[in-house]
Chain A
């Protein structure tokens, strides 16, 4: 079965610290990769996505993610986090022959001012 793993379930950082959230998937073949964010009290929204081209993808609010095919990974990064980045982050994947998007269990990020 296709699966998506987010190894960091809870991350606590101070403002200006660098962030990297891991995401690994088990699909073979062509995949489409997404990071979604849910800020407190708000809807789930797309942060960035990759489906072809440059494996380094830039999203909103200074976030970026790198697709490394050989490692089946799509890690999310931000060089300097802000208090407003406090949120739940979800990695999602579709492809590998399936249209069904599979989400990871999410990473809760808390940024202390």
Chain B
């Protein structure tokens, strides 16, 4: 079974530039999550989709971050404009359903460095 795919794996940009990350979840998984993991901390949920609808985006900094999941499959996360404090690993995860007890499967992450 193919896992969660993410690209790019690494990205270096200057502050005030924009950047986009892509995620392809496991086939058939209805729920998709984007997390931000700053060095030395645990992952922090940014947004959760079920199919193409947003379940929770309360921790997404909406002034600069946006995410979409058109057609309920792939998803993109965008940052515009980037700040130094956005340097982190951005993780995508998917689960079969939206239950709190469903197992989440994580992708390899995208490491973003903002200079």
Interface flags, A15-59, vs B, CB<8A=1, else 0: 000000000000000001000000000011110010100000000
A4 to B45, CA, bound (A): 14
Residues of A within 8 A of B4 (CB): 43
The binding surface of chain B is classed by DSSP as: loop
Within 8 A of B (CB), among A58-113: 90, 92, 94-95, 99-106
Given A99-B48, A99-B55, A100-B59, A94-B100 contact (CB < 8 Å)? yes
A49 to B99, CA, bound (A): 13
Chain A: interface size category: 20 to 34
Q: Which residues of chain B have a CB within 8 Å of any CB of chain A?
A: 3-4, 40-45, 48, 55-56, 58-59, 91, 93, 100-101, 103-109
